[in-house]
Amino acid sequence: MVSRQIGLGVRSDYVVHHLQCEQQETDEYLITRTPANPCFYFGNTLALKVPLASKTMAEWQTLFCECFATMPEVRLQTFIWVPNNDTDADQVRSFQ
């Protein structure tokens, strides 16, 4: 079961794609992998359960690479987070 800390959209995607993906949850994030389809942009994601500002962009990118080290075909780093009042607009822009 996907944590309630993760947005409803991510939880809904899991219901639809649960036979094609695998998930791993930590206290800070949820990893969703689609090993059979490494090019599926929104099938290979890091969904954050902590504020975006808790790490720098470089730290999030490094973590993504570590989480998907067994899938070198994954080229797009997709991050999902639930916006809140703590989200720094400048940090969000740095991901664009």
Residues in the chain: 96
d(C-alpha 4, C-alpha 1), whole Å: 9
What are the strands of the beta sheet with 45-48, ordered from one edge? 22-25, 29-33, 45-48, 78-81
Domain extents for the chain? 8-94
3-state secondary structure at position 22: strand
- pLDDT confidence of residue 14: 56
For residue 4, is pLDDT > 60? no
Angle at 14 between CA 17 and CA 48, to 5 degrees: 135
pLDDT digits (tens, 9 = 90+) for 33-64: 989 888 887 789 998 888 888 898 899 999 99
State which amino acid sits at residue 1: M
pLDDT tens string 69-88: 999 999 899 998 876 655 56
